Structure 1
């Protein structure tokens, strides 16, 4: 009995030791890299919403002369116009070079009147903003110093899902806080990050961690901690980091050119759903579906058409539409790239010369004053567009305006009043009469693709007519 007990204890010790041996030890990594991680505090001057000349509280009566200035400051403000006030924010960053270049997030230093970098050795240095890029949320700072500790840059493309990673930062002002987790996913596309294939982790990130480094197990920076998904404002297990190669590309452009230039294809794209894949004759949903081709853009010059599905861009396989913009954006302007597309079920290859990304705007229109028209078998009422509406909605030719959406197929598909229907099953819609004829002939029980434009952006929707 005693021998059995001893054997059980021995087995438990062995299993515990084996389990412990499999867990990573981050102590050396923190010792080697913690000195290069900095705390960033900023001061922003913002106007108060109350003017010093109107809607003010009156000064108290019988104020002694020696206290007038004191009371005037609180009741009337220091001068005319808006009363300035200061707000402070905290973030993190890390040192790229010994002479003081520091990387952080754009949102950490945006609109800052003063930026102070605090090192681990307690030194505080005023930083100069060299430049920042809102689209990627990357900012480059510079402090006057020599022989600063620096981080090593890693290769985020070599990261594996499930791999251990570590973050160092200043959550809620707690400096040099260390948290660890694993890579949850790669290449995540977020609504406000079209040009960033985010690294998703379950590393605990909170306000103040923004701009701090994400390390791999070799102690090299693979990302900049940037965002969290949260319903409470705090950490909920979903953290997102900007891949360091994207950030370094932006930082180098800021440093050498003073601005960031992005590659541009000249298309608007969307994901391919199961129903859309069926309507386009594909065996499975994949690729980036071209919903709009910008006139005169690189894609139009290369021969890309609405309804084409981009499945490969210069050797990069495109599974979802969110994978394409970061790849195109990082492609040098005027460089040629090979594109593989699926067009009406057939595979084709094209060559495109990547252009420079321009600014774009969207437009809306009010449908309340439009005349009533009959509702078709989809539950839609549509009207022709006049020249003024076309200019306002950025619709050059073809298309009909959706006036009303009743209960039925169109409503279930997500069509809304104010949408412009451009195509049905790859057939351009010339006017309302043309649309009604095409809709009347649509087959039953087959997936149909409809191209609409909403708020200036085109999107394909799919539906089936049951009877």
Structure 2
């Protein structure tokens, strides 16, 4: 009975900072009051940029302005004018371990609070999403999320909010976007409306290098990235990269997969020279590319 009362108390307390976000048809998503007048939610749940509304804990529905979104980490930031509600108390998601109890707290029906009680399914260190964003820790839930729970607060057994939930970054189970990541991305979105990432303007696929290439060139890895598309006028095209080239090194480090490419294209790389080693026509070649800033709506890396 004591455990039950404690959990109910956490849901009630954290629920004061959880809102419903109306940015798509039918079922609203959830959002969390992260700062005074600022709500964070899961970016994939917003199907429009204008006409977004938020239902507050007292039942009022108010207009929200989309400050920006980052698909890489699935975070969107909304601004509420004239709304002064206390933000949630956040904690460090890196303290979570597999088996820890957790509560996902949502406002999935647009009015009342909903909760889902479970355990942390697994944890890990910094993790790069398939969309290229960097999470400060990998925190996996033990199952999927109910409709409307993307954007919900994930609280630990003490009632601290460890981050927000999303169903968009993994298949079959929910992921927690850690509070550290939410804070970092929110700060950048508030400052400039988007998150900067490096950009070469190439589409690639992973390939295994032939035995002949390995014997001839002795590369640092047996894998590379085959260039199968180039953005017209992009940094790579301007540097002379061609479709059919195989990227094998970036600044002297192996280029084995997309994670290696994303690592080389962090926000600090923009404007810097990146030395690329590649295989063209069975011969090793090198070129230097000035890293650009990735367009916000461009699928090329």
> TM range, normalised to the smaller chain?
0.5 to 0.7
Correspondence for 1:187 among 110, 123, 127: 127
Correspondence for 2:18 among 29, 33, 38: 38
Distance 1:178 1:30, change over 3 A: farther
Distance 1:355 1:103, change over 3 A: same
Return the alpha-carbon distance in structure 1 between the equivalents of residues 100 and 211 of structure 2.
Answer: 39
Distance 1:113 1:28, change over 3 A: closer
Q: What corresponds to 1:169 in structure 2?
A: 105
SS state at 1:272 partner = strand
Return the alpha-carbon distance in structure 1 between the equivalents of residues 34 and 297 of structure 2.
Answer: 34
Unpaired runs of at least 5, structure 2: 1-5
Unpaired runs of at least 5, structure 1: 1-25, 45-86, 231-235, 363-456, 458-467
Correspondence for 1:209 among 115, 135, 149: 149
Q: What corresponds to 2:3 in structure 1?
A: none
Q: What corresponds to 1:90 in structure 2?
A: 28
Q: Deviations over 1:316-363 (max 9, x none)?
A: x865314534762x515744265575658999997653212247889x
Q: What corresponds to 1:255 in structure 2?
A: 190
Q: Which has the higher contact order (CA 8 A, sep 6+)?
A: 2
Q: Deviations over 1:5-38 (max 9, x none)?
A: xxxxxxxxxxxxxxxxxxxxx9599479724641
Q: What corresponds to 1:307 in structure 2?
A: 246
Instruction: Tell me how far 1:160 sits from its aligned partner.
Output: 8.4
Return the alpha-carbon distance in structure 2 between the equivalents of residues 160 and 351 of structure 1.
Answer: 42
The equivalences for 1:266-345 within 5 A come to: 266-273=201-208, 276=209, 278=211, 280-281=213-214, 285-286=222-223, 288-294=225-231, 296-300=233-237, 306-310=245-249, 320-322=257-259, 324-325=261-262, 328=265, 330-332=266-268, 334-336=270-272, 341=277, 343=279
Q: Deviations over 1:158-191 (max 9, x none)?
A: 578847473523275372414332336663644x
TM-score (norm 1): 0.46
- Which protein has the bigger helix share? 1
CA contact (8 A) 2:67 2:79 kept: no
Correspondence for 1:221 among 142, 156, 162: 162
Instruction: Tell me how far 1:207 sits from its aligned partner.
Output: 1.2
Instruction: Tell me how far 1:215 sits from its aligned partner.
Output: 5.5
Instruction: Tell me how far 1:113 sits from its aligned partner.
Output: 3.3
1:100 equivalent in alignment to 2:37: yes
Instruction: Tell me how far 1:104 sits from its aligned partner.
Output: 0.4
CA contact (8 A) 1:152 1:220 kept: yes
Q: What corresponds to 2:62 in structure 1?
A: 126
SS state at 2:236 partner = helix
Return the alpha-carbon distance in structure 2 between the equivalents of residues 145 and 348 of structure 1.
Answer: 58
TM-score (norm 2): 0.66
Return the alpha-carbon distance in structure 1 between the equivalents of residues 28 and 89 of structure 2.
Answer: 21
SS state at 1:103 partner = strand
SS state at 2:267 partner = coil
1:355 equivalent in alignment to 2:295: no
Instruction: Tell me how far 1:116 sits from its aligned partner.
Output: 2.4
RMSD: 4.7
Q: What corresponds to 1:145 in structure 2?
A: 83
The structure with the largest alpha-carbon Rg is 1
